[in-house]
Amino acid sequence: MQEFFQSIPEIVFRILNFVILFGALGFLCRNMIKDMFQGRKNKIGEDISEAEEAKKKAVNLEKDIEAARAENEARKAEIMEGAERQVEINSRSIAEAGEAEAKSLIENAAKSEGQLREEMESRVSADAMRQVAAITGEVLRKGSFENSKQALNDRFIEQIKELVSAMPSDILNMNELKKLDISISSAEPLSEEEMKKLTQIICETFISCHNEVDSDLIGGVRMKVGDTVYDGTLAHQLDKLSQDVESNTRQSDAERLNIAEGIKQQLAKVSDDIDVFQTGSVVTLGDGICRVSGLADVMAGEMLEFPDGLKGMVQDLEKENVGVVLLGEYSHIQEGDPVRRTGRIIEVPVGEALIGRVVDAMGKPIDGKGPIKTESFRAIESPAPSVIDRKSVSVPLQTGLKAIDALVPIGRGQRELIIGDRQTGKTAIALDTIINQKGKDVICIYVAIGQKESTIANVVERLRKFGAMDYTIVVSANASEPAPMLYIAPYAGAAMGEYFMYQGKDVLIIYDDLSKQATAYREISLLLQRPPGREAYPGDVFYLHSRLLERAARLSDEAGGGSMTALPIIETQAGDISAYIPTNVISITDGQIFLETDLFHSGVRPAINVGLSVSRVGGAAQIGAMKQVAGRLRMDLAQYRELASFAQFGSDLDKATRDTLHRGARMTEILKQSQYAPMSAADQVIVIFAANEGYADDVELADIARFETEVIEYVNRNYPELHDEILGGKKLNADQQAKLKACIVDFKKTF
């Protein structure tokens, strides 16, 4: 108790301290609390004021909504009234124009329907025709046509008496095997009476005959004797029908047959004709070469048909099989595929329709200008004209190049070889010659062998630019094509040219180049396992080119009077003209134009080596004036180049040598000529005459080109009749020479 009373003062002290502390805190926080409550009061007052204003706005908004609703109702009524008036107006307009418009629509619809029906009748796709043939076959196969099928059998037995015959291969088999197997296929088993008739026809003593049932034939009979097939079945007729219509669709619109007419024509043959053909099968295939078994009676060079229209040419004849070169893409061909004989040597289309076109080695257009409309075909291999049918070469074929027309003239019907290394201007000479034939009634054929497609396209574009495609045919066998296409391309071009030659026209054909053709033939021969000879070429490589170039000739008047001039091109290696192929072609042709690499690089273009170039026709293929002025030109140039080679080793030369070198340098400059700038024969005679007479001796070499151009212009302007006199073919008489000299002397005064 005593302790309690002792602690009271301490308790009172603590209470007083707490009261003092609390009072101090209240004093300090009073203003803060007052401000807080005052702010809250102000915020509540503002909220109450905003609520009052919102209430007033809501009352006004309701009034605006009511006003807008009333306005929209009025606008709606106005629009509806206007629409009703417009509908009434449109109804009256339609009612007034409806009858005429309806009549026009009906007429247009009827016209469109008629056009559509006409187009459907005149055009039918190959796919659609094949579908029709397939559906027809199914109907005939499932239907009941016993009488018709029996009639087909009877008709076959009746016709086979006249058609069946033993081919040479059949006779060989009968001699060796004493029998020949014949298989007869039919949609249904033949009766004993029918088999008896057939066996009586086919001499039962040495022939074994049996009947096989094949429902796919639909109706009729198919008989196979050795490799020969006698087909009188409905299935085969339907297949022929689809093929004929497919061929028909490739023709122009005017030539397309009416489909109904086509079907009638084909079906009319179903019960009348037996198709006779021979078949074999592919044994091996590779690198564009295949071996075909059967076809024992096939001819060398005959065209064979493979699946999907691929063509092949028979190249090797052996006892067990034949070697065939494939002319086109062959990736779809497989071993065991059927191969059919055509009975025709490989041929190409010929005629006027090919002029101006670019075709492949098979004569198919590759220039994107549509099909070639021609009904004429010619075998790519044909005999050369006989000696009796030929006439000597005497009519010049002007190339437009001074160096050629003056030094190595070419006549119509001649074979002149252009030979030289790569990039020495061989093709340039050929193209200039084609361009120079414009207006001379000469058909030109350019055969490109083994070149790049871009190169061939540039050649065609260049010919088109100068208007030469109007009388030119381009046969293209580019480097990406199989070797057989490169092999047959020159023969295809020759066949196209022969068509015009035998019609009495003049033809110029250029083979660019035969070196690549020989390489392609070597590839084919090695693949066919023929024994290689010199430089791995086969032994008949000489015959390859001789039988081609011998077809160029000038025909006698009795044979038609036409001509075909051949300019084959051969590429040499390092100027070696003694290699195998160059020597072969040199011995076949009537001369050669040798282009030298050193001359080409020294600026002499065309780079003709005068010493190695020759024309075996000579002056017979020159007009009189050219022969007159160019008579000593070859000798002078040969002498100049001989002296020039020695003069470079010494400087002490006599006056005669210096004069020869001086004149020769200017004559060489005169003979230079730009590409795609052929000259007329009259202009060539003028400039060569001026140089020969020494009128260019005092002209600087740099001015020779200008001298040439200006002297030709001056003479043609002041002596215009000279042009026709030179082209007349006769030599220049004394008066003409004197007048020409006087004209040139007058020109020199102003030059």
**Residue numbers annotated as active site:** 616
**Residue 465: CB atoms within 10 Å:** 11
DSSP secondary structure, 452-465, as one string: -HHHHHHHHHHHHH
d(CA 184, CA 222): 6
d(CA 734, CA 628): 12
Q: Residue 123 corresponds to which tokens in the numbers above? A: 């055009």
DSSP secondary structure, 585-649, as one string: HHHHSSEEEEEPHHHHHTT-SS-B-TTT-EESSGGGGS-HHHHHHSTTHHHHHHHHHHHHHHHTT
Encode 515-538: b = buried (16+ Cβ within 10 Å), e = exposed: bbbbbbbbbbbbbbebeeeeeebb
Do the Cβ atoms of 317 and 280 come closer than 8 Å?
no
Q: Residue 11 corresponds to which tokens in the numbers above? A: 């308790």
* 417-420 and 472-477 strand pairing: unpaired
d(CA 134, CA 214): 17
* 417-420 and 591-595 strand pairing: parallel
d(CA 488, CA 204): 46
d(CA 337, CA 281): 5
What distances in angstroms separate CA 692 from CA 625, 701, 732, 741, one per listed residue?
A: 13, 15, 14, 11
Which residue is it, tokens 């020779």? Answer: 704
* 180-186 and 221-225 strand pairing: antiparallel
Q: Pick from 354, 393, 404: which is nearest to 377 by CA? A: 354
d(CA 152, CA 157): 9
Beta bridge partners of 186: 213, 221
